[in-house]
Structure 1
Amino acid sequence: MKSIFFRTIYLVSLAAMTQQVHALSLAEELAQQDAELFKRGFNECDTAYLQQHVSDDLVFYHDQSGIQNKEQFMSNVVKNICSNLTEKPIRKLVDGSIETFPLHKNGNLYGAIQHGTHEFYIRKTGEPDRLTSTAEFTHVWLKVDNNWLLENVLSYAHKSPVNNAPTTAELLIKNHVPALGIGLIHNGKVTSTKVYGERKKGQAATKETIFKVASLTKPIVSFVTLKLVDEGRFDLDEPLYHYWVDPEIEADDRHKLLTARHVLTHQTGFDNWRWMNPTEKLRFNFSPGTKHQYSGEGFEYLRRALENKFDTSIEALAEEYLFEPAQMRNTNFWWNDKVDVQRYAYNHDEKGNLIPLKKYYSANAAANLLTTVGDYTKFLAYMMQQSDENPSLYKNIISNQIRIGESHYFGLGWEIFTDFSNDEYALLHTGRDPGVNTLAIFFPNSKNGYVIFMNGDNALPVLEHVLKDSYLGDQLWQRR
């Protein structure tokens, strides 16, 4: 009897030891899978490898960016992780944090759950990696035909690093960004405008400094268009060919489909700029209204249509419907006599080298607006005032028009992001040209907002610093 008892104890112990060895073996195997997946697919941007090792049924849950399927996940990797290989996010596993739990069915191993902590850095050529956030992750791996596929991902508890932040002046100098302008709005009122640094070497930037704001021109033209619609002088859905047809697409009947709504929601089918395609001619990549593709050409098309319909310039329309009522005294579409070059924030590359000034002498509805931080902050506040003064206009301004991702929409001239804390959503637009980095955002529920202007290319570290002290800025940074 004693022999049977000890034999039973031995067999149970042997089984437990075998299971433990198997679990350790599984943990090591999946640790290698994790390391290889993030090394090749995320850090090195081998998207073919990533595609092969991610399940077609992938569901990715992110505490800041919502839910993504495989198509959306792969698209976001290409767009947000791998678009600039000289300055990109990378992932590092926190040593000792990973745990693995096997999944069995009828005694057979079919998958595993993996949990751990990882860190995200910005890796820029020639510089040390810079920590940007830490997060928890839970992965579900399935074993299919003896291969491991990533089936589900939970990424959560994102936290920005705690460090001794440099002063704004130190940050600008370190990152070769000469000037920074910030305008703040609280509860619909402009509360602060500040400008730091130099407009050019040795010459201080002030509140009177004029910045080129690139694509922040588009929200100005969008507002003017919506004001014309609100007054019954124009219709978002009337065909633009009644007022303008570009000769390069005249032979394509799809030009008769184009409307202002297509332009403001970036559904024209045009390239961003015609010179970016091999023919360097305006063309349709798809029929208007069927897809979303960002386009400056669309706004220029709308400008010509408006100018022809109303027999006046976009400058005159903006003056009547926006600049004058909002008291924007320092905003111009081009280098006219009102623009003083002695107030201009000259643009600089990522090393701080001066970019030669190029002046424009005609309006562009998509780019090149010249303005001050104070004026553009007034613009945001003026728009938010319409919630009380002109609700029908404001309803159009903040309306979701098309869905382009999880918690991500495009409205009439603005990107719209939902699911912030405090039941908030945000309307956002950015602008970028050589030596130009700008951002404008407002939150309709709280009527808070801010404007950020910079005249240098190496803007990302400065933007991160500013957003940490801005309303819901940490959450916006996590969605970058």
Structure 2
Amino acid sequence: MNHPSLPSLPRRRWLKTAALSTLAAATWPQVTRAAACDDAAGWIPPDPFLADLPRLMQALRVPAIGLAVVERGEVVWSRNLGVSNAQARTPVADDTLFEDASLSKPVFAYLVLQLADQGVIDLDAPLVRYRRMDYLADHPWVDLVTARDVLRHSTGMPNWRKDPANEKLVPAVKPGTRIDYSGEAIFWLQLVVETLTGESLDESMQRLLFGPAGMRDSSYTWSADLAARSVHGHRAVEDEEPGMPPQMLREQWSAAQVIAGRWGRPLSAWRYEDAARALPLVQAITPKGLVNWPGDILANAAASLRTTPTDYARFMALMVRTPRAPWQISEATRTAMLTKQIDVPGRWTEKGLGWNLEATPRGPVFYHSGSNGGIFKNFALGDLAGQRALVALTNGGSGNVLYRRVVRAATGHDLLAFDL
């Protein structure tokens, strides 16, 4: 991709770019010296880095960051810094919820694999055998998509349709032949799970995963309590628009909450049919274009998870801990989750089931990033052999720059995923 040269940038943006370059030059040697390149060292960020973290947050205009670390399969450390809303200046607390964005996907993948272990779903059966949505195109490739394709992102489907109210969903290539990152496919699989369990997404999550794992502050949905404890998203450092940016999920779900209140049926219990029935009622009380189809007001397995950093670390502990409790996925299934699931020549990163996999000089790691609306940026990294993991959740559009520094300082890993 071609980038404009610095002289062609507006002067204010050029000055910000120069400032960030200076910051990188000043900070990187310290990070390198502090990095836990010794695999016997832990992944808790070094004290000098933590002391400098507020300065980095200010420079990158990231109001809040939540961090948590797993060592030897247990959550051993967490830290929340900053404010949930830069205008209200509300400090983050241990029970503050971050919008996890695409970190939602590995958690949902775990649920699907629990159901596979129980014989509820066959990972290699066509999804249309379980549920064919009316928004799917009449195309033979649709009939080939499996749950395995969804979890390894080989459905050929787009990430998100531009006009879901009027546009049919169809694979661009034959499923199983290439990698196409797709939130749409995850959402379809979510609706299949609804059919198989007879529950909403959040009901299944609470019963099968969040409850047993002790993830008491986790939900894919919305309520007055979740709203009060959830951070607001903020613009990236290069975005000079004044004021707070649109808070997409917060705005959509706050409107849906009105209808949920009228019905006496909480959003946590809504299934696709509920969202479809509520759609015209929600559209009647929202600006045109905010809510366009039922998926806009339904819990979304691809993007709507909210957790504390500690709760997400509890999930990461499940990925690296042994021995395992009976309710968890089997050892064979965990191995499959963290093993390459499709051979696409020339890739520097591989796809497991719900996770990205990268070989490093110090051994393989698994990871996932998250970005919602360009205002929430998150990252989770795990090392199965070392039984360790790191979670970094932010509420700023430049949070990806910040979490990369956290990962480098805490783990010593400088992933290709950060640059390619």
Same fold (TM over 0.5): yes
> Which structure 1 segments of 5+ residues have no match?
1-40, 46-84, 88-122, 135-158
The one of the two structures with greater contact order (alpha-carbon pairs below 8 A, sep at least 6) is: 2
Q: For the structure 1 residues 133 and 350, does the alpha-carbon distance in structure 2 shift closer, same or farther, using more than 3 Å as the test?
A: closer
Tell me, yes or no, if the aligned pair for 2:234 and 2:397 is still in contact at 8 Å.
yes
Equivalent of 1:130 in 21, 37, 52: 21
Cα RMSD (Å): 3.0
SS at match of 2:209: helix
> Which structure 2 segments of 5+ residues have no match?
32-47, 254-296
Decide which structure has greater strand share: 1
SS at match of 2:213: coil
Cα distance in 2 for partners of 1:374, 1:453 equals 10
Residue equivalent to 1:471 = 411
Equivalent of 1:415 in 353, 356, 368: 356
Which letter does structure 1 place at the counterpart of 2:303?
Answer: A
Which letter does structure 2 place at the counterpart of 1:196?
Answer: L
* CA deviation vs aligned residue, 1:324-376 (integer Å, no higher than 9, x gap): 1111011111113552x332211111248423434235211111211111110
Tell me, yes or no, if the aligned pair for 2:73 and 2:322 is still in contact at 8 Å.
no
Once the two structures are superposed, the pairs formed by residues 7-406 of structure 1 within 5 Å of their partners are 126-128=16-18, 130=21, 160-162=28-30, 167-201=52-86, 202-275=89-162, 280-339=167-226, 341-351=227-237, 353-357=243-247, 358-359=249-250, 360=253, 361-385=297-321, 388-389=324-325, 390-404=330-344, 405-406=346-347
* CA deviation vs aligned residue, 1:230-264 (integer Å, no higher than 9, x gap): 12221100111122113233421222111100100
Residue equivalent to 2:382 = 442
Q: 1:179: Cα distance to partner?
A: 0.1
Q: For the structure 1 residues 224 and 278, does the alpha-carbon distance in structure 2 shift closer, same or farther, using more than 3 Å as the test?
A: closer
Which letter does structure 2 place at the counterpart of 1:432?
Answer: S
Cα distance in 2 for partners of 1:124, 1:279 equals 41
Q: Percent of aligned pairs with the same residue? A: 27
TM-score of the superposition, structure 1-length normalised?
0.64
Q: For the structure 1 residues 231 and 177, does the alpha-carbon distance in structure 2 shift closer, same or farther, using more than 3 Å as the test?
A: same
Q: 1:479: Cα distance to partner?
A: 5.1
Q: 1:386: Cα distance to partner?
A: 5.6
Q: 1:86: Cα distance to partner?
A: 7.8
Give the length in aligned residue pairs. Answer: 339
Equivalent of 1:426 in 339, 342, 365: 365
Which letter does structure 2 place at the counterpart of 1:224?
Answer: L
* CA deviation vs aligned residue, 1:124-177 (integer Å, no higher than 9, x gap): 67430616989xxxxxxxxxxxxxxxxxxxxxxxx9545897711121122111
Q: 1:286: Cα distance to partner?
A: 0.8
SS at match of 1:262: helix
Tell me, yes or no, if the aligned pair for 1:323 and 1:329 is still in contact at 8 Å.
yes
Cα distance in 2 for partners of 1:436, 1:86 equals 25
Cα distance in 2 for partners of 1:333, 1:237 equals 26
Cα distance in 2 for partners of 1:235, 1:431 equals 28
TM-score of the superposition, structure 2-length normalised?
0.73
* CA deviation vs aligned residue, 1:196-249 (integer Å, no higher than 9, x gap): 011113211112111111111111110000111112221100111122113233
Tell me, yes or no, if the aligned pair for 2:355 and 2:368 is still in contact at 8 Å.
yes
